[in-house]
Structure 1
Amino acid sequence: MKEEKKSSYKDFFDAIILAGGESKRFGTDKCSFEIDGKTMLQRVAENFENPIIVTRIPRNYGIEIKDDGKGPIRALEIAIKKIEKDKVFVTGCDFPFLKRKVVEYICSKDYEIAMPLLEYPQPLLGCYDTRFLKSNISRIVSLQDLIYLANNVYLIGTEEIKMIDSSLDSLRNINRLTDFYTKIKIFTKSKILLR
Structure 2
Amino acid sequence: MTDSTPHASPRPTLPGLFLIFSRIGLTSFGGGLSGWLLREFVQNRNWISEEDFLNGLAISQALPGINVKNMAIWIGHRLLGWRGAAVAVAGIVVPPAFLIVVLGTLIGALLFHPLTQVLIAGAAAAATGLSLSMGVVTARRVRRQVLPLLLMVATFVAIGMLRLPLVWVVLVGGGVSVIYEYVAIRRGRR
TM-score (norm 2): 0.28
Structure ID, larger Rg? 2
Task: Considering fraction of residues, name the structure with more helix.
Answer: 2
Task: Considering fraction of residues, name the structure with more strand.
Answer: 1
Query: Which of 1 and 2 has higher RCO (CA within 8 Å, sep 6+)?
Result: 2
TM-score (norm 1): 0.27
